[in-house]
Amino acid sequence: MQRQGFIDRLKAIVGDDYVIAHPEDLLVYEYDGSVDRAMPRAVVLPASAGEVSRTLALAYQEGVPVVGRGSGTGLSGGALAPPGGIQIAFTRMNRILEVDTENRTATIEPGVINLDLDNHVRKFGMRYAPDPSSQKACSLGGNIAENAGGPHCLAYGATTNHVLALEVALEDGTMVNLGGPAREVPGYDLRGVFVGSEGTFGIATQITVRLLPLPETVKTFLGIFPDIESACSAVSAVIGHGIVPAALEMIDALSIRAVQQVTDAGYPEDAGAVLLIELEGLWEEVDEVSREVESALWETGAGEVRVAEEDRERERLWLGRKTAFGAFGAIAPNYYLVDGVVPRTRLSQVLRKVSEVSEKYGIIIANVFHAGDGNLHPCMLFDGREPGVTERAMAGAAELMEYCVAVGGTLSGEHGIGLEKKQFMPLVFTDADLAVMRRTRDAFAPANRLNPGKIFPDDDGFYQIVPQPTPPPGDTGMYV
């Protein structure tokens, strides 16, 4: 009855309605956007930092591990419950507390949705730059945990470059403020190392981010290419011209078809690949650079170049890009996203490897990615119900990750290591490297009660992942 007592004590902190503990209800908290699932022991939905702190203190005392959960859109299993652990879901802590137009900052609760913040501050002529594809759904708290990226990170940097201050609850419920309203804060950069720590250092309960002024001019290009090779050379040509656009995205033929099937984003369905390029800045800059971009696109074999200057047209082009991962559901019921980053000049080489892997393992792979950053997203599409196919997909993904590392790249550019990629960490880091990272975590969370079992390959070997789905045998196969 000890256990029942624990749930009751959680209820005493946040209220009866805000602890979810019935196993049938917990079915909906066992997944995020990734392929794994893990059922929490309970989900707590606090309304304030104080409730978060008290929940953590209780869990700490009881030896129950905890993970924060925003909207559950992550692609690395970061928000999945640790064994026997509880989730603190931030969906109720979703207030925008303050927008400081003069200092260009916003202070928010962690459950605020990325796009809601951006839309809100646009009313004041500002923007929140990091724009993950899931920005319509993902929370800022989750963005902090994963150091989320997005297309516009090419010019403006990832989440870490935009976080000023964090109010954080540590594993035992102690509250600490990291950073501050000033851009520079002396001392060890605790706020900097906290961002991207995947929920293992602490749980942010309040966040102050930096905002940017809206650019004077925005211009979006859709470069239409006969094949992915020529699109890759266009990427090199643009960067080689000394141009770092606000965003530079590639969408391959398969992804174009997947997107167009559900959402008419205006991508030509017979194209081999399209590049989505956005330029921002003063009118003079955009004007000058856009000519160079256009000529780079033509020179590298673009069949057509479309320019969108009106908001509605641009939104349509971006809608396709931002719904691409979801659109893969229309092709196959499962996808595994490889998030490798490589030096930009290696893109075409790595994409050739992607086709090889696709052929070798018999797995369809779609590519839609942040070409300007060299952040690939080969998406392994498969039907987990076909015997052996999941293993083949994983083996293919492993080979791709190894290749990315071999050409000077790394495992993950923006989605995090979490559960999904932790076994690949030794490709990049030695035991000594990982030991230093552990030492850092131990300074924040000595008892390792926050999101244990993530990131480190040999941590908590008892962690068992359940891939989904595992439905009874039915008609299998792709839907296209």
Partner 1 sequence: MTEPIAQQLADLLGRDTVLMPDGAGGAANTPELEKYAVDGLAPQVVVQPTDRESIARLMQWAAARQVAVLPRGGGVLSALGNRPAQVDVALDLSRYNRVLDYQPADLTVTVEPGVTLQTLSRELARGGKFVPLESPLSHRATLGGILAANASGPLRHAYGLARDWLIGISVVGADGVETKAGGKVVKNVTGYDLNKLYTGSLGTLGVIVEASFKLAPLMDEWAALAAPFPSMDAAIAAGRSLIAQVYAPQGLQVVNRPAARRLNLTADSAAGAYVLALFAGRPRAVGRRREESARLLGQSGATAVESLDGAAGQALLRQVTDLGWSDDTIPALGMRVNLPPTAVGQLVAAIVGESAGESGAELGLVADLGFGVAHLLRWPETFDQAAAGNEEPAGDAVIAGSLSEIERMQALARSMGGTVVVEHCAPAVKARIDVWGGAATEAELEIMRRIKQNFDPLGLLNPGRFMGRL
Partner 2 sequence: MADSEIRAPAQLDAGGGAAPTPADVPLPWAEPAEPLNREPGFRGVDVPAEADLYRCVHCGLCLSSCPTYSTLRVETESPRGRIALMKAVHEGRAGISSRIVSHWEMCLQCRACEAVCPSGVPYGRIMEYSRAQVLAQGKQGGNLKRIDRLFLRAALPHPRRLRFGAHLLRLYQKSGLRRLVRASGLLKLLPASLAGMEAQLPELTGPFFGPRRPVYPAQNPPASPPADGATANRPTPTVGLLSGCVMPLMQGATMHAAVRVLTRNGCNVAVPPGQGCCGALNLHAGDLETARRLARRNIDTFLAAGAGKDGFKIITASAGCGSNMKEYGELLKNDPEYAEPARRFSALTVDITEFLAALPLTPPTGRVPRRVTYQDPCHLAHAQRITQPPRALLQSIPGLELVEMEASTMCCGGAGIYAMTQPELAGQILAAKLENINNTGAAQVVTANPGCMLQIEQGLNAAGGRHQVKHVVDLLDEAYGG
> Which residues 191-220 are close enough to bind partner 2 by CB under 8 A?
none
Residue with tokens 């092709």: 331
Q: Which of 209, 213, 82, 65 is nearest to 148 (CA)?
A: 209
Residue 178 engages partner 1 in binding (rule: CB under 8 A): yes
Q: Which of residues 229-258 bind partner 1 (CB under 8 A)?
A: 236, 239-240, 242-244
Contacted by 469, from partner 1, partner 2, none: CB < 5 to 8 Å by type? partner 2
Coil, helix or strand for 263? coil
Q: Which of residues 36-55 bind partner 2 (CB under 8 A)?
A: 37-41, 45
What mask of x and - would describe binding to partner 2 in positions 254 to 273, judged by CB under 8 A? -----x-xxx----------
Residue 1 engages partner 2 in binding (rule: CB under 8 A): yes
CA–CA separation, 202 vs 456, rounded Å? 17
By rule CB under 8 A, what count of residues binds partner 2? 81
CA–CA separation, 387 vs 358, rounded Å? 18
Contacted by 392, from partner 2, partner 1, none: CB < 5 to 8 Å by type? none
Residue 20 engages partner 2 in binding (rule: CB under 8 A): yes
Contacted by 240, from partner 1, partner 2, none: CB < 5 to 8 Å by type? partner 1
Contacted by 382, from partner 2, partner 1, none: CB < 5 to 8 Å by type? none
CA–CA separation, 416 vs 414, rounded Å? 6
CA–CA separation, 315 vs 320, rounded Å? 9
What mask of x and - would describe binding to partner 1 in positions 12 to 51, judged by CB under 8 A? ----------------------------------------
Residue 24 engages partner 2 in binding (rule: CB under 8 A): yes
CB of 214 to partner 2, least distance (A): 21
Contacted by 333, from partner 1, partner 2, none: CB < 5 to 8 Å by type? partner 2
User: Contacting partner 1 (CB under 8 A), which of 153, 274, 363, 365?
Assistant: 153
Segment (H or E) for 167 = strand 163-169
What mask of x and - would describe binding to partner 1 in positions 319 to 348, judged by CB under 8 A? ----------------------xxxxx---
Q: Which of residues 89-118 bind partner 1 (CB under 8 A)?
A: 100, 102-105
* CB closer to partner 2, 362 vs 471: 471
Q: Which of 357, 228, 241 is nearest to 292 (CA)?
A: 241
Rounded to 5 degrees, φ, ψ at 387 are -60, 135
Residue 123 burial (C-beta neighbours within 10 Å; 0-12, 13-18, 19+): exposed
Rounded to 5 degrees, φ, ψ at 423 are -70, -15
Contacted by 263, from partner 1, partner 2, none: CB < 5 to 8 Å by type? partner 2
* CB closer to partner 2, 269 vs 299: 269
What mask of x and - would describe binding to partner 2 in positions 328 to 367, judged by CB under 8 A? xxx--xxx--------------------------------
Question: Can you list the positions of beta strands (E) in 296-356?
Answer: 304-308, 334-337
Q: Which of residues 312-331 bind partner 2 (CB under 8 A)?
A: 323-330
Residue 181 engages partner 1 in binding (rule: CB under 8 A): yes
CA–CA separation, 451 vs 169, rounded Å? 13
Residue 437 engages partner 1 in binding (rule: CB under 8 A): yes
CA–CA separation, 242 vs 224, rounded Å? 22
* CB closer to partner 2, 157 vs 477: 477
CB of 363 to partner 1, least distance (A): 23
Q: Report yes or no: 114 and 131 within 8 Å, Cβ to Cβ.
A: yes
Please, which residues have CB within 8 angstroms of residue 285's CB and are 6 or more apart in sequence? 217, 279
* CB closer to partner 1, 118 vs 414: 414
CA–CA separation, 101 vs 213, rounded Å? 10
Q: Residue 267's Cα: distance from chain center in Å?
A: 24
Coil, helix or strand for 242? coil
CA–CA separation, 251 vs 273, rounded Å? 6
CA–CA separation, 403 vs 380, rounded Å? 16
What mask of x and - would describe binding to partner 2 in positions 129 to 148, judged by CB under 8 A? -----x-xxx----------
Residue 349 engages partner 1 in binding (rule: CB under 8 A): no
Segment (H or E) for 155 = helix 153-156
Buried b (16+ CB within 10 A) or exposed e, 100-113: eeeebbbbbbbbbb
Residue 21 engages partner 2 in binding (rule: CB under 8 A): yes
Residue 445 engages partner 2 in binding (rule: CB under 8 A): no
Q: Which of residues 89-108 bind partner 2 (CB under 8 A)?
A: 89, 91-92, 94
CB of 57 to partner 1, least distance (A): 15
Question: Left (φ > 0), alpha (ψ -120 to 50) or beta: where does 266 sit?
Answer: left
CB of 29 to partner 2, least distance (A): 6
Select the span of 25-33, 157-165, 225-233, 273-281 touching partner 2 (CB under 8 A): 25-33
User: Contacting partner 1 (CB under 8 A), which of 53, 87, 147, 390?
Assistant: 147
Residue with tokens 């009874």: 472
